[in-house]
Structure 1
Amino acid sequence: MLLAIDAGNTNVVFAVHDGTEWRGRWRIATRPDRTSDEYAVWLLALFQHSGLKPAQIDRCAIGTVVPAALYNLRRLSREWFEVEPLIARSTVHWGFDIRVERPQEVGADRLLNSLAAHHHYRGPLVVIDFGTATTFDVVDADGGYLGGVIAPGINLSLEALHKAAARLPRIGIGRPQAVIGRDTVAAMQSGIYWGYVGLIEGIIGRIKAEAERALKVVATGGLAPLFAEGTTVIETIDPDITLEGLRLLAERNPVPILQKPVREIP
């Protein structure tokens, strides 16, 4: 089985794939100083609850945009699952060209999204990821990664609005019933929601105009369904696209299983 680890700026997602389907998905807040032992205590309890055993894991793939978290995630794979992890970076075999000036600067999540989106939906297409940042990644018809757009994430914008304006409260994101807000909270919700709908439609429109062709639009991230309600430009929602990218990358880049130490019997 494959243990896929997607370490983002906000959460680390762990998932197990048995070769046919995803057997479980669990998330924990990203904390770069969290040790491999802390991860293990938490994760193995969830394994037991799901009827999984550590010995069943024979592959591990890690994608992270938080370099400081990688050390302990790698130790988790090596020490607790005895598997050498595959690290998603620009130097591994992706099966497509990364057509940007500095491939090493592209976040692993963006390449993983592009890999899975092309595999499942073909191209050309755009992947919108509603994460800590809102990213738009453009994939060519042959699967090549062409670059994209990075905008502030919705929750970052909400937090900045609250912190920078003394009288504006911290609010949750939701689709407002009307564009014109009748109180402060409604006005803020409208500005964030319809402002981001405008951002999505504007950027997708400009990408299509620059590409001079039709592009499929796939969205992922927890807020994708909410924003898909407010616009017709999002055609498909795929919540597992990053994990699918890790699964596909692991298939293309087999790594050796660490040999268990031989213990002499006294």
Structure 2
Amino acid sequence: MLLAFDVGNTNIVLGVFKDGELIQNWRLETDNNKSADEYGMVINQLFTYEGLETREVKDVIISTVVPSILYTLQHLSMKYFHKRAIVIGPGIKTGLIVKYDNPKQVGADRIVNAVAAYAKYGGPLIVIDFGTATTFCAITENAEYLGGTIAPGVKIASDALFEKTAKLPKVELEEPGHAICKNTIESMQSGLVYGHMGMVEYITKKMKKELADLTKSGKEVTVVATGGLASLIEQGIDCIDHVDKMLTLEGLQLIYQKNKGHKK
């Protein structure tokens, strides 16, 4: 079995693959203060609850945008699974040609998403990840990762309204059903959710045009969304073709296949 870690600023998503198939996944809170032992005990309990054996884990792969937690997970991998983890970063084979000015600056999650989306849907392609930040990535039909856009996520915007104003409350992130709202909570929900929908539509439209100018075959651009809030935002817009919640984990499994036997 393969144990995959997708570490974001807010959550860690874990996935277990057997013979290339995702058989179980969990979501934990990202906590820089947790030790390898604390994470190890939680994972042990999750495995036990699902009837899985930790000794069957043959390899571990990690994608993280939180550098401070990487050592913790590497230590966990050695102590609890007796494996040196594969870490997404420079030198890892992905199958993509990264055209970013400085490839080292591209977030690991963005590359992993692009690998999975290109393998499943082909290019040209736009991948939108609704995480702590909302990221947009453009990939050509020739597997060239061009770059994209990074915007504040819906939760960041919600937290900012609460923290930077005297009277506005915290609200649940859900669609209120109308834009002319008669109370503060729905007014905030409207601004947060519909505002994000509008941003996504505009950026996607602009990126599609730029990608189309580079696509010699004339093939249409496919738009794939992932991340915790993808379904909420996708409900109100027409520019997303596929919502794929397990995209990052599947990308980790694909990258593992390209790199197993070549650990750094």
- Structure 1 length-normalised TM: 0.94
Counterpart position of 1:163: 163
Moved more, 142-151 or 209-218: 209-218
Larger Rg: 1
Paired residues of 1:35 and 1:72 also in contact (CA < 8 A): yes
What amino acid is the match of 2:255? L
Q: Give structure 1 stretches of 5+ with no counterpart.
A: 258-266
What amino acid is the match of 2:204? I
Counterpart CA distance in 2 for 1:178 and 1:65 is 36
- Paired positions, count: 257
What amino acid is the match of 1:181? C
1:199 is displaced (CA, Å) by 0.1
Paired residues of 1:96 and 1:145 also in contact (CA < 8 A): yes
Map Cα deviations across residues 121-141 of structure 1 (whole Å, 9 max, x no partner). Answer: 111010110000000011111
Moved more, 152-161 or 49-58: 49-58
Counterpart position of 2:62: 62
1:222 aligns to 2:224 (yes or no): no
1:233 aligns to 2:234 (yes or no): no
Counterpart position of 2:15: 15
CA RMSD of aligned residues (A): 1.2
Q: What secondary structure is seen at the aligned counterpart in 1 of 2:142? A: coil
What amino acid is the match of 1:63? S
Counterpart position of 1:264: none
Q: What secondary structure is seen at the aligned counterpart in 1 of 2:98? A: coil
Counterpart position of 2:134: 134
Counterpart CA distance in 2 for 1:79 and 1:102 is 34
Counterpart position of 2:123: 123
Paired residues of 2:162 and 2:168 also in contact (CA < 8 A): yes
1:211 is displaced (CA, Å) by 2.2
Map Cα deviations across residues 57-103 of structure 1 (whole Å, 9 max, x no partner). Answer: 00110000000000010011111101111000132111121111100
Q: What secondary structure is seen at the aligned counterpart in 1 of 2:97? A: coil
What amino acid is the match of 2:106? V
1:33 is displaced (CA, Å) by 2.7
What amino acid is the match of 2:234? A
Q: What secondary structure is seen at the aligned counterpart in 2 of 1:219? A: strand
Q: What secondary structure is seen at the aligned counterpart in 2 of 1:212? A: helix
What amino acid is the match of 1:124? P
Paired residues of 2:12 and 2:30 also in contact (CA < 8 A): yes
Counterpart CA distance in 1 for 2:241 and 2:139 is 15
What amino acid is the match of 2:44? L
Counterpart CA distance in 1 for 2:119 and 2:141 is 11
Paired residues of 1:110 and 1:137 also in contact (CA < 8 A): yes
1:97 aligns to 2:97 (yes or no): yes
Paired residues of 1:6 and 1:13 also in contact (CA < 8 A): yes
What amino acid is the match of 1:235? D
Counterpart CA distance in 1 for 2:124 and 2:3 is 30
What amino acid is the match of 2:46? L
Percent of aligned pairs sharing the same letter: 40
What amino acid is the match of 1:225? S
Map Cα deviations across residues 4-40 of structure 1 (whole Å, 9 max, x no partner). Answer: 0111100111111001422211122111231111111
Q: What secondary structure is seen at the aligned counterpart in 2 of 1:15? A: strand
1:172 is displaced (CA, Å) by 1.1
Counterpart position of 2:202: 202
